[in-house]
Amino acid sequence: MESGTGARISSLVSAFESRRPQGLKELGKDFIEEAVVKSDRNMALASVIAYALYKILTKEHLLSSRAWPKVSESIRVFLLTAKDAAQENDENNFSRAMQNVIGKIEAFDDEMSNYARNIFEKGKMKQASVAYAMGLSLNSAAGLTGADRVELQRYIGATRIHDEQPVTKGIEERMRSLREVLGR
């Protein structure tokens, strides 16, 4: 597990606690970029969670439901547990806590969503398409985020995100980052 994962999860908790959907969206973008550069599945998972929480926080009917306060508190506690586990480099407890967050998101989505369903699955597609736009192959992008490869291919074909993603790093800077990760 990356040494900075705990700090990144802490920033996710902070944005979630303060109900800052745009902050969550930005973290999701930052996390997926880092996940691509470092081939870090934990960071990809954090990216999908950040994006799913962003989507939830932008839906007033979800936030005003009677179930939300209890669900959001559970998500917050599981995220804090994940942060602590990451800081202690405890991969098992980190994974368990993150799976609990996913379970809460999916259960809440199934129970409450009238118009938007499968928020977490859609988050996987969105973040995988960003990874694809950054240069990963379709299979690598799907594998990194856990997205279904066939569905991802359909999603990418239907959207233009891979054409719209601005190039934030040139090839030289990407190669430098890759060499750092590989220790060369």
- pLDDT of residue 4 exceeding 90, the answer is no
Q: 115: which residues sit within 8 A by CB, 6+ positions away?
A: none
* Residue 75 pLDDT class (50, 70, 90 cuts): very high
Cβ-contact 164, 170 below 8 angstroms: no
pTM of the predicted structure, to 2 decimals: 0.83
Over residues 101-150, the pLDDT tens digits come to 999 999 999 888 655 568 999 999 999 999 999 999 999 999 999 999 99
Helix H segments across 58-170?
60-63, 68-87, 91-112, 119-133, 138-145, 149-158, 161-164
Q: What is the pLDDT of residues 18-32, one digit of tens each?
A: 999 999 999 999 999
Q: Nearest CA to 15 among 3, 2, 25?
A: 25
Query: What is the tally of structural domains in the chain?
Result: 1
CA 48, CA 66: separation in Å to the nearest integer?
A: 25
Domain of 120?
5-182
- Two tokens, residue 183: 């220790």
The number of beta carbons lying within 10 Å of the beta carbon of residue 92 is: 8
